[in-house]
Amino acid sequence: MKRFLLVIITVLLVGFLATPILIADNLDNKIGIGLGNPYFCIKYGLSSKLSIEGRGAFGSGIFAGGARIYYNFNPEYRAVIFVGGEGDYVSFDVDDVEGIGLVGYGFVGGEYFITRRFTFNLDIGPAYIFVRENQFDFNEKGLEWVFNLGINYYFK
């Protein structure tokens, strides 16, 4: 299955790189909303190269909310390659374990403009996660690899 995942990633990346079609648009001043695995986000283009994003991710008893910044290498193309960073505040209440935490995530990825408004994006990178439970003050920390997929809709 790992191999299958690598194939998907490779195909998508090659697809991104192999289709440098100018769509006569860029990310400057664009506002978009997105949904993913599972997260929701609001994205805004500060310039053609830089975008910021507020995002919230949720799972059974876990919420992570934070912000992202993207640097877009080729913002005027259908397939935009980016790098970026994300910081999140975490709160959790799973069974009888309750606490808070922090996440720092660095990523590389791409966003593919299926139409001028609809995009598909993926990113992958290392996340440093720190969580602490309230009752006994135990904590856990360390690096984990994270892979995200999502879709975005831009309003203009």
Partner 1 sequence: MKRKKIGLLILLSIIVCLFVPSLGQPGIHFGIIKAIEKKVDKLREKTEPYSNLPDISTFKTQKSDRFIVDIADICSGFPFKGRRAKDPHQGAHVHFDNGLDHWPKGGVDKPENYPPIYALLDGVISRVDYSFHYGNNLDSYCIDLAFAKDSSGSIYILHYSIEPMIAEPSTNFYREFIFISKGQEVNKGDIIAYMYTPPSSSSASGIHIHFHIKRMNVEGFMAPALFTYAVVKQFHAKWSIFGYDDSDPIPVCMGYKLDADENPFGTGAVNLLW
**Residue 122: exposure state from Cβ atoms within 10 A (0-12, 13-18, ≥19):** buried
Of the pair 49, 142, the CB lying nearest partner 1 is at: 142
How far, in Å, CA of 124 to CA of 109, rounded? 6
Judged by beta carbon, residue 50 or residue 97, the one nearer partner 1 is 97
Q: Which of 62, 67, 69, 83 binds partner 1 (CB under 8 A)?
A: 62
Q: By CB under 8 A, what part of segment 23-42 binds partner 1?
A: 36-39
Residue 136 CB neighbours (<10 A): 9
CB of 85 to partner 1, least distance (A): 13
The DSSP output letter for 77 is B
Among 18, 21, 145, 156, binds partner 1 (CB under 8 A): 145
In the list 74, 82, 131, 154, the residue contacting partner 1 (rule: CB under 8 A) is 131
First to last CA, the chain: 38
SS (H, E, C) 96-131: CEEEEEEEEEEEEEEEEECCCCEEEEEEEEEEEEEE
When the beta carbons of 48 and 106 are compared against partner 1, the nearer one is 106
Pull the structure tokens for residue 89: 């505040």
Give contact residues for partner 1 (rule: CB under 8 A).
1-2, 4-5, 8, 36-39, 57-60, 62, 64, 88, 90, 92, 94-97, 99, 101, 103, 105, 114-115, 118, 120, 127, 129, 131, 133-136, 138-142, 144-149, 151
